[in-house]
Structure 1
Amino acid sequence: MWYAWLETQRNLMRMLGTWTVPVDDGKSGNAAAPRVAAVGYDWMYRLLQPPPEPPPFDIRTVRIGERDVAVVEQMIDRTPFCALRKFSRTPDVAASVSEPGGAPLAEIFLCTPLAGHHAVMLRETVETLLQDGNVYVTDWTNARDVSLDAGPFGLDDYVLVIQRFLRAAASAPLHVVAVCQATGPALAATALSASAGEAPLRSIALMGGPIDARLAPTAVGRFARTHTLDWFRTVVIDTVPPPYRGAGRRVYPGFIQHAAIVAAHPDRQWALESRYWASQCSGDERAIAGALRRLNEYAAVLDMTENYFLNTIRVSFQEYSLARGSWQVGTHRVRPRDIVSTALCTIEGARDDITGAGQTHAAQTLCSAIPLGMREKLTIKVCDHYDLFTGPRWHETIHPALSAFWRSI
């Protein structure tokens, strides 16, 4: 098994943590001579020994106008497979607190994708959304750290977790923002709540996700469609080895996902590496820390359970269950047409090579009962998949448009 082999290599690197080379200081017999790591050790260590835990969000302040406002992070709810975090501008505000001009402070629910990366990869997104109000974040657990006693976890369970967390956060009407793979489950949870007659969300924004992967299929979608579930089960599913808490759990390992992402988007990895080494050369400690943090966030990968991974391929890329109206979560059919009072915004990048053109905008057709005045459809020029939630396109175009949409409804 690749997982067990890689763990063996990582254990070796841990042992080599004390493998250093003495530097001759010209004083024979000096036991305190300085020591340096063997050449290439630091590069190999980063390659084979990623951080055992994802870096923390560590968002302490947010810039609002001309002042820095303190931010408090809380754990609101959790299941074995996910935690719901809340980032609040202090003092912890409720619906009764208003922004300048009398507009109510927004409550935003960021539904992060469970697609190989920890939620902290969207730290920049969270920081930006804090300019609008308090932010809830779904923080998915690495499946290697969930014991077998917690039971299986599939795509339907993902939807049910989102429903549970939306109820836990429902002290005020919520603006939901779902990114990438999270768009389908977030739309399903919203539809199921609408069908059950629950209080509607204020809005839902879907960004770069495969609502209907039949449209303009990308290489990712074509690969998922043309390989059987048995092929994936045989080739990419592995078993978590000891000493992890989830030993024995069948997973799609994060290190495979990370290798695939780097191979598909080497330019992004190169840009992060280049920024880090340029910062090192400049000697700017603040820039070095920021560049290293971004590298660690991008490298913070997680394992997905076998059931969830294969369910996602089947539902989203082989049966197109949401688009065809055949998706059933438990005994309940997912009916986006039951959503009436929740505003809808769909956002796509014109250069997105992960989610094809029209795949996210397809939600506009599925949610047929939402009034035209409560809809927005944005296609961002010169924008790839990652630009949708990080970098200049996010800051200069997408976030301002999203804020304007929220103010308009």
Structure 2
Amino acid sequence: MEISRQRAHQGLFNPLALWNEWICSTASRSILQLAEALRSQQFAQCYGLFQQAIKALGTPAFDIEQVEFDGRSMPVSESVVMETEFCRLRSFSCERGRSGKTAPSILLCAPLAGHHAALMREVVQSLLPHADVYVSDRVDARDIPRAAGDFHLDDVVLTLQHFMVELKPGELNVLAVCQATVPALAAAARLVGGGYPEPRSLVLLGGPIDPRGNPTPLTRMAGSLPPSWFDALGTHIVPSGYRGVGRRVYPGFLQYPSLIMGHPERQLFLLFDYIQSQGAGDAQAVREAERSIAQYGAMLDMPAEFILDTLRVVFQQALLPKGIWHVAGSPVRPDQLRETRLLTIEGSRDTISGAGHTHAAQDLCVGVPAERRRRITITGCDHYGLFGGPHWRTAVYPAVHDWLVG
């Protein structure tokens, strides 16, 4: 097993890094063996067992009834304001009293990995006292009829662009997390070419804008997987019994081992929090720990064409940073942005998106004046700390709040 000298010089040479590297080298072989074993009836059986397991956890939901601010409890309203076959736009707002001041709007582009958007619950809770929040919430591909057609990475860009236009981009703040940073930046850039106002601000958290340098176990695996191999072994047809029967997907139960591989200590921390909360007799903490475990484990299926596009466009060919990505026949030109305020945030211990992967957006948006751009690296913060937990509350959120609302 080899640990890169560059990571050692960056101070990332620690037991967790060693553990991550070992998991990467062994789990990838296990995933290959699992995928090879899942054929025909075996796949249908495993698929059904996984669906039963996540059903027992409950469907992840935001369940935000109220938020606390300045000693007041403010009721929260949630609704779906726009919807396609593949994605819903959820709206969250609260009664802030008669301040006379219009609350800013924030479009939260949830990660495009296998998790439900409810994983962003703490982000929404933090933002609500000061802003109306809209969240892109993808539909589980197992529930999308085959007649709805395919859903490519380009379609994600176009969907986010449509949401931005409908939410009045000149007054809109955009916050994108993890894999959603790539299509969110592309959608913002396409607004300029379409003659629309630019977003007021754009915040990118822990995403693979340019994953070529400082590889992580996850980006290394994504960059080396032959698309033909992944299509043959990593994608499968939704079996009968679901609305999406016949649709080719990257199943949630195959995603979960990859997730554990990329961030193995996360599951241990969640279980430790749960046990610790039970020992302390803190009923509220136990409920929150149970919610976190359910959200982390309830993986959804992704359209096969979308994940294949992501592997090719983002991780293997790096079309965005090379300046050669075209969406719907038009080039993606982040350098055309002029007015948007750009903030990029990374975690120094992020083992999913590596150092510089997100900050690369700063070099692509060269048309934005330097005083409108800022990059922040949160010391000691891992990937999930960028949108939940102590690092989010004490370091990431204050920076995001000041940039979006302040």
1:222-262 Cα offsets, whole Å, 9 max, x none, are 21222211011122111110101101111111111122212
Change (3 A) 1:407 1:81: closer
Match of 1:275 among 273, 276, 290: 273
Aligned CA RMSD, in angstroms, stands at 2.2
1:31 corresponds to? none
CA contact (8 A) 2:169 2:197 kept: no
Match of 1:60 among 62, 65, 71: 65
Q: Distance in 2 between matches of 1:297 and 1:403?
A: 25
How is 1:174-323 mapped onto 2 (pairs within 5 angstroms)? 174-323=172-321
> 1:72 corresponds to which letter in structure 2?
S
Q: Secondary structure of the equivalent of 1:49?
A: helix
1:82 and 2:87 correspond: yes
1:404: Cα distance to partner? 1.7
Name the structure where helix makes up a greater proportion of residues. Answer: 2
1:344 and 2:349 correspond: no
1:200: Cα distance to partner? 1.6
CA contact (8 A) 1:183 1:209 kept: yes
1:371-403 Cα offsets, whole Å, 9 max, x none, are 111111101100111111111111001111112
CA contact (8 A) 2:169 2:196 kept: no
CA contact (8 A) 2:130 2:405 kept: no
Higher Cα radius of gyration: 1
Q: Distance in 1 between matches of 2:46 and 2:194?
A: 51
Match of 1:8 among 36, 45, 48: 45
CA contact (8 A) 1:54 1:120 kept: no
1:2: Cα distance to partner? 5.8
> 1:265 corresponds to which letter in structure 2?
H
Q: Secondary structure of the equivalent of 1:50?
A: helix
1:138-183 Cα offsets, whole Å, 9 max, x none, are 0001101100010000100010110111122228711100000000
Q: Secondary structure of the equivalent of 2:377?
A: strand
Change (3 A) 1:219 1:206: same
CA contact (8 A) 1:376 1:405 kept: no
2:54 corresponds to? 50
Using the size of structure 2 for normalisation, the TM-score is 0.86
Q: Distance in 1 between matches of 2:360 and 2:81?
A: 33
Change (3 A) 1:83 1:172: same
Q: Which runs of 5+ in 2 are unaligned?
A: 1-37
Q: Distance in 1 between matches of 2:94 and 2:244?
A: 36
Using the size of structure 1 for normalisation, the TM-score is 0.85
How is 1:156-167 mapped onto 2 (pairs within 5 angstroms)? 156-167=154-165
1:125 corresponds to? 123
1:406 corresponds to? 404
CA contact (8 A) 1:212 1:316 kept: yes
1:189-241 Cα offsets, whole Å, 9 max, x none, are 00000122202211000111111111212222221222211011122111110
> 1:364 corresponds to which letter in structure 2?
Q
> 1:347 corresponds to which letter in structure 2?
I
> 2:162 corresponds to which letter in structure 1?
R
1:263: Cα distance to partner? 3.5
1:284: Cα distance to partner? 3.7
